[in-house]
Structure 1
Amino acid sequence: MKKTVRYSAAIALAAAASLTLSSCGFGGGSTDGGDAEGKTTLDLLVPSYSDNTQGLWEDVVDGFEAENPDITVKLEVQSWDNLESVIATKVQGGEAPDIYNGGPFAGFAADDLLYPVEDVVSADTLSDFQDSFLANAEVDGTAYALPLIASARALFVNNALLEQAGVAQPPTTWDELLDAATKISALGNGIAGYGMPLGSEEAQAEAAVWLWGGGGTFGDADAITVDDPSNLPGAEQIKKMIDAGATQADPGSTNRSPLMDIFIQGKIGMQVGLPPTVGQIADNNPDLDYSIVPIPTQDGSAFTLGVMDQLMAFKNDGDKQDAITKFFDYYYSADVYVPWVQTEGFLPVTKSGADALSGEEALAPFLEVLPDAQFYPSTNPQWQATDGAFKALFGQIQTKPAQDVLTEIQAQVDAS
């Protein structure tokens, strides 16, 4: 593979892939948490990240049950499209899983449905998490979820297209990015300078790249502030890129995954990508000449934005607490956790996991930023509504004034 990596600092984002696997389904334990053989039963609900997900969790369950013959784990795998409706239905019906892999959790914590993580994990395991990731799972100073995976994003650059367009170096600022992308688009033949996915798949992520790259913010645990004036420079730069013809056609309805496929085919000059993008290139176009560089910002300064998914434990049966602790300690042991996260193509959230993968060249640019990652305000109870508002409305920025779009998103969040 022809690949160079230039990465002194990067932006980390997380976004998980949505591939559907069939559900195994919970079997439903008895009210005392045990089955007919006197075993404790743990119900585990997880989303599918890839075609590997179900098999990886089955391996974890098999290994755990072999070491803990008095505990049975019943696995249910759902697609990301269905996950939130499934968990909502289960919680409302009084059938919450004992362990859940998901995103937003602040609402569950506010309703006193979750164990504080210090009650369901050993001190050694707890101390192994990257501090910034564990802090992002706190509500009012108490962590109610364990970090599961991280993802990092950086700018993937087609070196050959930059050279053809007469661009000497990958851009570091917005002005340089606009100039380079415009020149690449001018090459014609269906080539786009910058791949800008503003469609519903992950509009909030592309928005964060630009709004936060200009010094903006989505808010914090106390308040969502999408219409903050600091977000306007980034929003206006998005329109500037589109109006200049520096992007693909109709970015407002373009989703990230299919757009990245076009980059991999060699038809896009630059696009923000994830660690799994490296493997996708290796599988589908190993001769692609590309670089991984920091995402350009307004003034060229670096910032790091992180997203993670979590594992959390519902307080269903009090006598399951010890079994949950054993499961978490087993799963996060390096010899179990590292192969799991590596196969899924994401980044570890534990210090031991980062150490184990530190020699992986392809992951090195992304691992570097994990300890200092910043995050979406996911502990704000309105974050889920904010995420949905971006996905529903932000694509309109290609045809509406930037401030109007930000105001509409804020209004939808405030009404939630």
Structure 2
Amino acid sequence: MKSKLRTGMMALAAAGALTVSSCGFGGSGDSGEEGGASTLDLLVPSYSDGTKALWEGVIEDFEAANEDISVNLQVESWENLESVLQTKIQAGEAPDIYNGGAFSAFADEGLLYPANEVASEETIADFQESFAENEMLDGTQYGLPLIASVRALFYNQDLFDAAGIQAPPTTWDELHAAAQEISATGVPGYGMPLGSEEAQGESLIWFAGNGGGFGDESEITVNTPENLEAAEFMKKMISDGVTQPDPGATQRTPMINVFAQGQIGMVYALPQTVGQIKEENPDLNYGIASVPTNSGEPSTLGVADRLMAFKNDEDKQEAIKAFMDFFYAEDNYVDWVETEGFLPTTKSGSEAMGSDESLKPFLDMLPTAEFYPTTNPAWNAADGAFKSLMGQLEDQDAQTVLEQIQSKADAA
């Protein structure tokens, strides 16, 4: 299943920011301001067949409650979204509100409102701290986290029972032992996808599980003691034969498909995997648990999309703020997130959705989510290096692999 969450718009953002600087940034050609009325342009991607109708419902209710504000909605596919945004920027017609990925280049050029200027204190305070911090550049929050996804451990209960495993693992040692027991039955105990699709995601799950990570907006940190210890344990899993064959060539999506058919003991997967299993193999006897870490303290990979507001016309600032506060009100926001099948980025949303047992492990891990350092210009190079080099962990020592990836990041 192709994830619709995007965090890799850095190249577009940089190009768009340069274009804006050179042509003069004047905002929408038609401000729509007459007699105190405001017209907001909203550009969003399509997450599902129902995305357009969802936004139309939000807009209808918002306009009914705010008769002096209207909203022009434009929905684009993810494939077209970035080129549409670039065209609008080049024409001096950036949307007032945009749902997209990386924001740092826009913010660095001074093109975005800080979040606290287009949302109330109550709205800002309701975001999970880990997600709010991910929307910051130089200490200022610009994005309003829209939807979230984190990884959890999916495990095959029937394979657990056959191997005599009493409970899902909470530490790396327990994960290794459980995978070893399952592998002894003839089924791979743990699925480790280090192919080009998402080697960076698998790696960050393990690195964060040892207090490591990929760095921040100012520095990419791959070759660190914490990450090295994690990579060495990953290699131990491979060398001890408790993973599927050839992890370096394994892609996440087909691997999860194999789990859904009952042929792998444990994998890290997404909230959407619940729906996939329900549709493809509803009889699968499985469970969901928190990600095992070295110490047992919770940590996981987090991914988020966001809303951001361009500084087109200062007369629209209050209208943008009214829309943001309306959308993130608990009832409106939770309905939108639930319908799209994602996780909420707000504390109130997590509380409201907490009764769904299939989502609870994901919701519990939201506060501990670790993110890709997408605000760092060198992240694209590091991301590519992970995808092309991390799979070599099968044949090379962990130190060498991390040094190679760090070198690619430093060169960027």
Under a length normalisation based on structure 1, what TM-score does the superposition of the two structures give?
A: 0.83
Amino acid at match of 1:233: E
1:164 to 162, 165, 170: 162
Confirm or deny: 8 A CA contact 1:108 1:114 kept in the other structure. yes
Aligned-residue offset at 1:100? 1.8
Per the alignment, residue 146 of structure 1 pairs with 144
Q: 1:90 to 1:159 in 2, by over 3 A?
A: same
Pick one of 174, 192, 199 that aligns with 1:196: 192
| 1:129 counterpart residue number | 127
Structure 1 residues 88-116: Cα deviation after superposition (integer angstroms, max 9, x where no partner)? 55545544332222232222211111111
Contact 1:305–1:373 (CA under 8 A) maintained in structure 2: yes
- Give the counterpart of 1:230 among 202, 226, 251: 226
- For the 8 Å contact 2:290–2:365, the answer to whether it is kept is no
Inter-partner Cα distance in structure 1 for 2:387 and 2:319: 38
Distance 2:301 2:141 in 1: 20
In structure 2, how many angstroms separate the alpha carbons of the residues matched to 1:265 and 1:393? 29
SS at match of 2:190: strand
Look up the match of 1:286. 282
Shift of 1:160: 0.7
Against the structure 1 CA distance between its residues 173 and 118, is the aligned structure 2 distance closer, same or farther, given a 3 Å change threshold?
closer
Cα shift at 1:193: 1.5
Alignment partners' CA distance in 2, 1:82 and 1:185: 44
AA matched with 1:409: I
Pick aligned residue for 2:270 from 271, 274, 280: 274
- Give unmatched runs, 5+ long, in structure 2: 7-26
The structure that is helix-richer by fraction is 2
**1 CA distance for matches of 2:334 and 2:176?**
39
Shift of 1:134: 1.9
CA RMSD of aligned residues (A): 3.0
Structure 1 contact 103–309 (Cα < 8 Å) conserved? yes
The Cα of 1:233 is off from its aligned counterpart by 1.6
Q: Which residue of 2 aligns with 1:401?
A: 397
Greater shift, 342-351 or 53-62, is seen at 53-62
1:144 deviates by: 0.8
Shift of 1:87: 4.1
The match for 1:99 among 70, 76, 97 is 97
Alignment-derived partner of residue 5 in structure 1: none
Does residue 72 of the first structure (1) align with residue 59 of the second (2)? no
Between the aligned partners of 1:378 and 1:18, the Cα distance in structure 2 is 13
Q: Please list, as runs of the form range in 1=range in 2, the aligned pairs for 1:80-99 lying within 5 A after superposition.
A: 83-84=81-82, 86-88=84-86, 90-91=88-89, 94-99=92-97
> Which is worse superposed, 52-61 or 30-39?
30-39
Instruction: Output one character per residue of 1:145-166: Cα deviation in whole Å (capped at 9) or x when no partner.
Output: 1111222322111011122234
SS in 1 for 2:265: strand
Cα distance in 1, alignment partners of residues 180 and 259 from structure 2: 16
Q: Do the aligned partners of 2:291 and 2:300 also contact (CA within 8 Å) in 1?
A: no
Contact 1:133 1:349 in 2 (8 A): yes
Question: What is the one-letter code of the residue matched to 1:257?
Answer: T
Q: Does the 8 A contact of 2:29 with 2:92 survive in 1? A: no
User: Does the CA contact (< 8 Å) of 1:137 and 1:146 recur in 2?
Assistant: yes
Answer yes or no: is the 8 Å Cα contact 2:103–2:375 preserved in 1.
yes
Query: For each residue in 1:25-44, what CA deviation from the matched residue of structure 2 results, as whole angstroms up to 9, or x when unmatched?
Result: xxxx9524228999644333
TM-score computed with the length of structure 2 as normaliser = 0.84
Relative distance call for 1:169 and 1:129 in structure 2 (3 A) is closer
Q: Tell me, which stretches of 5 or more residues in structure 1 are unaligned?
A: 1-14, 20-28
Pick the aligned partner of 1:176 from 160, 169, 174: 174
**Distance verdict in 2 for CA 1:61–1:361, change over 3 Å:** same
Q: Which amino acid aligns with 1:72?
A: V
Q: Describe the superposition over 1:307-337 as per-residue Cα deviations: whole angstroms up to 9, x where unpaired.
A: 3221111112333323322221221122211
Letter paired with 2:253: S
8 Å Cα contact 2:192-2:267 kept in structure 1:
yes
- Tell me, what secondary structure is at the counterpart of 2:222? coil
Percent of aligned positions that are identical: 57
Aligned to 2:314: 318
Instruction: Report what 1:112 is aligned to.
Output: 110
1:25 matched to which residue of 2? none
Partners of 1:305 and 1:171 in 2: how far apart?
A: 18
Indicate the larger mover: 320-329 or 269-278. 320-329
Give the direction of change, closer, same or farther, for the CA distance of 1:123–1:228 in structure 2 (3 Å limit).
same
Would you say the 8 A contact 1:39–1:72 is kept in 2? no
